[in-house]
Homo-oligomer: A and B are copies of this chain.
């Protein structure tokens, strides 16, 4: 959905290069279309079978050729995927170093997807120039997408568990300020979950039979997602202690001299192995600074629209006129 966008203050057709937003370059005799342009930040494209192309903002008449929505198989001719770098990506490729990777099993990836004259047959084209529907399309799609960011509450559960585990290992989990920070993490995290659930429970069917989440609440949820994970990460780094960023690596732990010293000096609470302490510290590093921080933090900020995008929707949907009436009624105001 997200175009590369060029100068953010210009509309698609005002850009110096018309390709900075994906658009219909030409139309085929059979009713099909030929696409040019590029989409940025595409999470998980490489492990998908199909992609759906959509405009990323409401468009006006002058941008008619940018109002395009269609399905494309992931290996269609003319598409180039360019893989993005991630924090600590090289560590993820260190052979046999599962511990330092923090979370050796899961990660995500983003690509830039470039379209060089990609042909789409007419039966896979869902929108072609209907600019008057782009605003509604974006509002509805982002409602689904923003509501779906409840997934970050799942990652927040992992953070809460990691924060509690590292406190257990350090021997600090009975301290009142530690317990209170764990409660704060849970409280912040459940707020994401609660507002997401409310958006779904408040969903209504459209005439077509789809269910649409409550749009205002979906935006409230996503707005929290742009704030809470950062604070949860901060609190978890607080509980982890300085070893989060000073812990030596696997090569040191395997070294005949350094390894023995580390095994001696990294002892924490009785009964906790040094290896397990390393593992929980590396998981927290991975999720707050490393490869999965991309998904837990920065993607929470920008995925499904940056914070201001949600505020624009909240402004539109908060129904100020109805609320002014309430206040005026109570104040005895007659205009």
Binding site for B on A (CB under 8 A): 2, 4-10, 16-17, 19-20, 38, 40-41, 80, 82-91, 94, 98-100, 102-106, 110-112, 114, 157-162, 164-165, 168, 170-172, 174-177, 179-180, 182-183, 186-187, 190-191, 193-195, 197-199, 201-202, 216-217, 220-221, 223-224, 226-227, 230-231, 233-234, 237-238, 241-249, 252, 257-258, 261-262, 264-270, 276, 279-280, 282-283, 285, 289-290, 293-294, 297-299, 301-303, 306-308, 311, 314-315, 318, 320, 322-328, 330-335
Known contacts A190-B216, A270-B16; A261 and B80 CB within 8 A of each other: yes
Within the complex, the shortest CB–CB distance from A219 to chain B, in Å, comes to: 9
- Copies of this protein in the complex: 4
Describe A's contact surface by its main secondary structure.
helix
Within the complex, the shortest CB–CB distance from A190 to chain B, in Å, comes to: 5
Check if B308 sits within 8 Å of A177, measured CB to CB.
yes
B-chain residues with CB within 8 Å of residue A326 when the two chains form the complex: 157-158, 161
Check if B157 sits within 8 Å of A9, measured CB to CB.
no
Check if B84 sits within 8 Å of A40, measured CB to CB.
no
- Tell me which of B180, B245, B252, B332 contacts A177 (CB under 8 A): B180
